């Protein structure tokens, strides 16, 4: 699996020619500043526009606070009292009476839906889905049925999510549809009635269904699974469904599906990048625009009024605009912006007045002048794919012969984006050049690029990462003897694989919750991932039919080949990558006399959430990298 030699074609976007030498290193930001909870985040304006809810710390845990719109943020009242893992996900009910939030238990991802009354902040939250071992998620809050929430819940069978109506006032639950055969997406009317959905068929296709009356559903059209259809909702007059789809195109584009004829009309597309978001108003379903995650996040207006809004916002905000919640009259919006050197700024925008007011910043203690810029870059892989990514360089240090980290994103069907990243900034502040690569299999660059990663875990996907590391050396940025690899989830697997299959490239590696044995990883997926097994079999391999192949791509069985020291961190309650994946890797490394440090955290899952656990993780990573790369 190790190629003796290859010719790496340089894309030519980066040509760094600074002379060797050093300058003043970056000012050292306290490690606690990267591990702390945000001071102000996730702001949501109530549908009636009278209040704003947001996330802020209470006794070192993220909780929900509420203040009157227009009042100072420091006048807000605490309305939740979670002393354990903290809260990060909440929504207003449509009548602005309640707040709903989801919470799991020490990272196990069995999320329950809780209700809290902002007018009675001392009342305890009510668990509306108190079923142990099940996960619930909100899919719709109907405009004209404010006491109801449409939810998906796997309390009947842990393998499948059923669609049901949850009474917010008393917790009563009524089944609407069992998720068999699996439904891909739902669209509801203003009363919360199921109006359209996509459904997988036994022959592997996807039907788009509409419910014209109580008499039954009818099929508007049928797609292939590879068309990747996503339903965004009805247009304003309900004559068509807005879809993002890749049929007839390499990239996902926005189309309108006529409900009578089944014909599609292309509304917008990009030849290189997938559609990222469709921007619509909440109540009237006016199509505002579309967004693409290119080198930077870009919004394209499709509505003259929205074009005016964007012009006002672009003048007032220093970075890309992201739209959040809006009032029922669609005149006041929460918007935010972020950049690599700005961890975020959140604003209230009044459309009728054209005014933008700052509400708060999540990390005001991080100063832009101390943070590293993130530059888009590209190079060609050994077999000709154009690979995009980002390079972040430490401030105050000449970009020559630096210690470097190749940071591999998770997923792998995800991608790195331009913006603030606490781990990237932490590493750059400690003097490391940080390279992020959107290797084949990443999303956002079209179907061909994403599918080029099928069955390439530990293969060509890893080659792309290795090519990136060698590109960084050829550019003169990285010292080839002081390069590390760092990743979480799939990125953790990639770190282990790089050290096992390319043992001379990296001086050390960091693996956060990465699978080490692809066979057992696929056999121990959460039960509610049952619908994804076909996709895993196609993209990774079948643990029954492809056992030998999967074994050849599993770093656990090549622990004896690893030369570089490894740091491994794992949450004990991780439902996606079980603790045993890390335990066995550590055991195999120690059995073969390899250098490994292991951090097992009892009250965490797949992602670390509490400040003290984040702090410990950052501290151990800092000491590990300093030991082997500095």
Is residue 616 domain-resident? yes
Q: Which residues pair with 355 in a beta bridge?
A: 350
Whether 421 and 512 share a structural domain: yes
Q: What is the pLDDT of residues 299-321, one digit of tens each?
A: 999 999 999 999 999 999 988 99
Q: What is the pLDDT of residues 512-564, one digit of tens each?
A: 999 999 999 999 999 988 777 888 888 999 999 999 999 999 999 999 999 99
Whether 426 and 391 share a structural domain: yes
Is residue 498 domain-resident? yes
Compute the CA torsion angle 17, 22, 28, 33 (nearest 10 deg): 20
How are beta strands 253-258 and 264-268 bridged, if at all?
A: antiparallel
The reported pLDDT for the residue numbered 608 is 92
Q: Name which of 47, 26, 37, 621 is nearest 363 in CA terms.
A: 37
CATH number, domain with residue 411: 3.40.50.1820
Domain of 571 in residue numbering reads as 382-629
Whether 556 and 598 share a structural domain: yes
Do residues 425 and 402 make contact, with C-beta atoms less than 8 angstroms apart?
A: no
Q: What is the pLDDT of residues 370-418, one digit of tens each?
A: 999 999 999 999 999 999 999 999 999 999 999 999 999 999 999 999 9
**Hey, which bits of 460-608 come out as E strands?**
478-488, 508-512, 566-571, 596-601
Whether 399 and 538 share a structural domain: yes
Whether 319 and 431 share a structural domain: no
Last residue of a domain, one of 356, 374, 399: 356
Is residue 494 domain-resident? yes
Is residue 608 domain-resident? yes
Whether 309 and 451 share a structural domain: no
Name the domain count of the chain.
2
How would residue 180 be classed by pLDDT, with cut points 50, 70 and 90? low
Q: Name which of 343, 230, 307 is nearest 276 in CA terms.
A: 230
List the catalytic residues: 489, 574, 606
Q: What is the pLDDT of residues 23-62, one digit of tens each?
A: 466 689 999 999 999 999 999 999 999 999 999 999 999 9
Above 80 in pLDDT, residue 18? no
How would residue 202 be classed by pLDDT, with cut points 50, 70 and 90? confident
Whether 455 and 499 share a structural domain: yes
Whether 352 and 387 share a structural domain: no
- CB atoms < 10 A from the CB of 27, how many? 11
Q: How far apart are CA 630 and CA 622, in angstroms?
A: 11
Q: How far apart are CA 80 and CA 188, in angstroms?
A: 30
Whether 471 and 417 share a structural domain: yes
Q: How far apart are CA 126 and CA 460, in angstroms?
A: 49
**Hey, CA dihedral for 490, 492, 494, 497, is it positive or negative?**
negative
pTM of the model: 0.93
Strand order of the β-sheet with 216-224 is 183-188, 194-200, 205-213, 216-224
Please enumerate in sequence order all residues whose Cβ is within 8 A of that of 302, keeping only pairs 6 or more positions apart, or say none. Answer: 267, 268, 287, 288, 289, 290
Whether 417 and 474 share a structural domain: yes
Whether 415 and 339 share a structural domain: no
Q: What is the pLDDT of residues 66-92, one digit of tens each?
A: 999 999 999 999 999 998 889 989 999
Is residue 386 domain-resident? yes
Q: How far apart are CA 345 and CA 360, in angstroms?
A: 6
Whether omega before 412 lies within 30 degrees of 0, making that bond cis, reads yes
Q: Name which of 443, 435, 445, 434 is nearest 385 in CA terms.
A: 445
Whether 495 and 429 share a structural domain: yes
- Name the strand (E) or helix (H) holding 521: helix 518-523
């Amino acid at each position: 699996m190790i190629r003796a030699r290859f010719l790496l074609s340089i894309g030519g976007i980066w040509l760094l020619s600074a002379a060797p030498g050093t300058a003043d290193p970056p000012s050292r930001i306290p490690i606690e500043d990267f591990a702390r909870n945000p001071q102000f985040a996730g702001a949501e304006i109530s549908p009636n526009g009278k209040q704003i809810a947001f996330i802020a710390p209470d006794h070192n845990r993220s909780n929900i606070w509420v203040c009157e719109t227009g009042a100072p943020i420091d006048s807000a009242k605490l309305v939740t009292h979670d002393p354990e893992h903290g809260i990060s996900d909440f929504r207003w009910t449509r009548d602005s009476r309640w707040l709903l939030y989801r919470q799991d238990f020490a990272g196990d991802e069995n999320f329950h839906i809780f209700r809290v009354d902002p007018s009675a902040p001392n009342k305890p939250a009510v668990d509306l889905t108190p079923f142990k071992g099940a996960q619930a998620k909100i899919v719709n809050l109907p405009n004209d049925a404010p006491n109801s929430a449409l939810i998906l819940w796997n309390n009947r069978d842990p393998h499948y999510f059923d669609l049901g109506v949850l009474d917010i006032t008393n917790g009563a639950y009524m089944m609407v549809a069992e998720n068999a055969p699996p439904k891909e997406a739902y669209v509801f009317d203003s009363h919360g009635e199921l109006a359209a959905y996509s459904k997988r068929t036994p022959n592997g296709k996807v039907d788009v269904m509409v419910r014209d009356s109580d008499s039954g559903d009818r099929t508007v059209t049928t797609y292939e699974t590879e068309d990747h259809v996503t339903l965004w909702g009805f247009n304003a007059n309900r004559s068509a469904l807005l879809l993002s789809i890749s049929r007839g195109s390499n990239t996902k584009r926005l189309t309108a599906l006529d409900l009578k004829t089944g014909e599609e009309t292309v509304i917008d597309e990009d030849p290189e990048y997938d559609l990222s978001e469709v921007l619509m108003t909440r109540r009237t379903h006016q199509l505002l625009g579309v967004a693409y995650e290119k080198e930077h996040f870009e919004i394209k207006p499709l509505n003259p009024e929205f074009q005016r809004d964007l012009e006002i916002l672009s003048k007032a905000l220093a970075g890309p605009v992201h739209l959040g919640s809006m009032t029922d009259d669609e005149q006041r919006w929460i918007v935010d912006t972020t950049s690599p050197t700005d961890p975020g700024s959140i604003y209230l925008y009044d459309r009728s007045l054209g005014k933008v007011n700052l509400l708060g910043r999540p990390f005001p203690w991080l100063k832009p002048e101390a943070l590293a810029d993130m530059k888009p870059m590209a190079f060609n892989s050994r077999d000709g794919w154009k690979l995009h990514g980002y390079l972040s360089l430490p401030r105050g240090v000449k970009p020559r012969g630096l210690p470097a980290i190749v940071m591999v994103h998770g997923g792998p069907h995800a991608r790195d984006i331009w913006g603030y990243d606490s781990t990237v900034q932490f590493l750059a502040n400690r003097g490391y050049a940080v390279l992020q690569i959107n290797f084949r299999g990443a999303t956002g660059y079209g179907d061909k690029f994403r599918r080029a990663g099928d069955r390439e875990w530990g293969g060509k996907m890893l080659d792309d990462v290795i090519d990136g590391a060698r590109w960084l050396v050829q550019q003169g940025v990285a010292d080839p003897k002081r390069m590390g690899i760092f990743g979480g989830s799939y990125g953790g697997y990639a770190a282990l694989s790089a050290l096992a299959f390319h043992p001379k490239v990296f001086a050390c590696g960091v693996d956060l919750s990465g699978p080490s044995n692809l066979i057992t990883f696929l056999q121990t997926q959460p039960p509610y991932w049952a619908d994804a097994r076909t996709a895993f079999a196609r993209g990774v391999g079948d643990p029954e039919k492809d056992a030998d192949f999967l074994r050849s791509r599993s770093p656990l069985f090549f622990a004896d080949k690893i030369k570089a020291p490894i740091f491994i961190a794992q949450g004990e309650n991780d439902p996606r990558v079980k603790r045993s994946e890390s335990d066995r890797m550590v055991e195999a490394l120690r059995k073969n006399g390899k250098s490994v440090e292991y951090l097992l955290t009892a009250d965490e899952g797949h992602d670390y959430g509490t400040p003290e656990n984040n702090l410990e993780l950052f501290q151990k990573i800092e000491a590990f990298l300093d030991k082997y790369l500095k």
